[in-house]
Amino acid sequence: MSNTYSNLKTATLDQVRLAIRSGQYRSHTAGLGQGYLQSNLAIMPQEYALDFMRFCQRNPKPCPVTGVSDTGNPMMFTMGRDIDIRTDVPAYNVYRSGRLDHDCTDISDIWSDDLVVFALGCSFTFEHALMRAGFSMWHIDHDLTVPMFRSNIDTVPAGPFRGKMVVSMRAIPTERVPEAIEISGQFPLAHGAPVHWGDPADIGVHAIDRPDWGDAVPVPPGHTPVFWACGVTPQVAIEAAQLPICITHKPGHMLITDIPENAQSPILCRGDNQS
C-alpha cells in the first residue's frame, strides 16, 4: 500500500501508525485514524511537569489532558498497546530555552530518562463527527493543515507557563453553526464546543488569511468563521516558560491513539507492556 495521504485516509490504524513510525509518512494527520482520539504533545523534564499539569488543569479547553507518561518511559501504555512516543508522531518541534530550535521526525537521539510526556486532546477528533454529519472540512479536502491563530484570550498561568490561547478556525455554513457547536460539544477530550464564532477581530485575529500556523482556508459567502481552542496553546506557554528543552508535536502532526474518539474517559486502553 502506498503511504500517500489519500491512501492513508482509508487505511487501518495499524497501517497509519506503521507508516508514521517507519518515517514513510511525515505530514499532517487531519482525517487519518478515523474513530480514534488524536492528541497534541508536550514533553519536558520532570522538574517542570507539576506546574505544567496545573496549567492544563486551569485551562481545560485548550489543554484537555488525555494521558501522562511515567517519567523516562516513552511507551504511552495508557493511550494504546504499542505507542512509542519517540517515533509515532509524523513530526516534532524541539524547543531550547523557549525558542524553536528545529523540527524532526524521530526524537530517539534526544530522549532522556527525566522526560515526562503529556498528551492533550485534539480538534481533529471532532472533525470526523462533523464530516459524518455532512460538514465539509476544506483543509482535509485539499490535503492542508487547519489554520491556527494566536488570540487575545488569556490563559490562567501556572508557574512559568502562561500566554494567550491559540485557536483553530473552520468555515461553517452560517445556518449550521448551532449544529456544529452541538456536535463538537460532545467531545470534551477534543476541546469541545468552540470558544468564538463570528468577527475574528473580537478575539484579536485581524488577518484571517494569514494564520500563525497551518494553511489559510477560504471563508465563502454564507459561511461563518468558527474558532475552537487549540492544543498549540501549550507551545506558546512553553515559549514563555523558557525551559531548557521541551519537545512538542509539529502543529497539525498529531499522535493517533487507540482511544475511541467518543470516549468520556481519557484512559481506556492499557497495553501489555507497562514497564
Q: Are strands 223-229 and 196-197 parallel, antiparallel or unpaired?
A: antiparallel
**Domain spanning 124-233, CATH architecture:** 2-Layer Sandwich (3.30)
CB atoms within 10 A of CB 174: 14
DSSP 177-207: HHHHHHHHTT-GGGT-S-SEES-GGGGT---
Q: What is the pLDDT of residues 118-158, one digit of tens each?
A: 999 888 778 888 999 999 999 988 888 899 999 999 999 99
The single-letter code of the amino acid at 72 is: G
* CB distance 180 to 162 below 8 Å: no
Cell 477530550 belongs to 189
Share of the chain above pLDDT 70, in %: 94
* Res 213: pLDDT: 92
Contacts of residue 112, Cβ cutoff 8 Å, sequence gap at least 6: 72
Q: What is the pLDDT of residues 49-74, one digit of tens each?
A: 999 999 999 999 999 998 999 999 99
Under CATH, domain 14-123+242-260 is a member of which superfamily?
A: PSTPO5379-like (3.40.1640.10)
Q: How confident is the model at residue 232 (pLDDT cuts 50, 70, 90)?
A: confident
Phi, psi (rounded to 5 degrees) for 175: -70, -10
* CB distance 93 to 247 below 8 Å: yes
Distance between alpha carbon 118 and the CA centroid of its chain, in Å?
A: 11
Q: Any bridge partners for residue 161, and if so which?
A: 158
> Quick one: which of 95, 112, 92, 89 has its CA closest to 104?
92
Q: What is the pTM of this model?
A: 0.86
Q: What is the pLDDT of residues 71-96, one digit of tens each?
A: 999 999 888 889 999 999 999 999 99
Residue 157 grid coordinates: 498561568
Residue ranges per structural domain of the chain: 14-123+242-260, 124-233
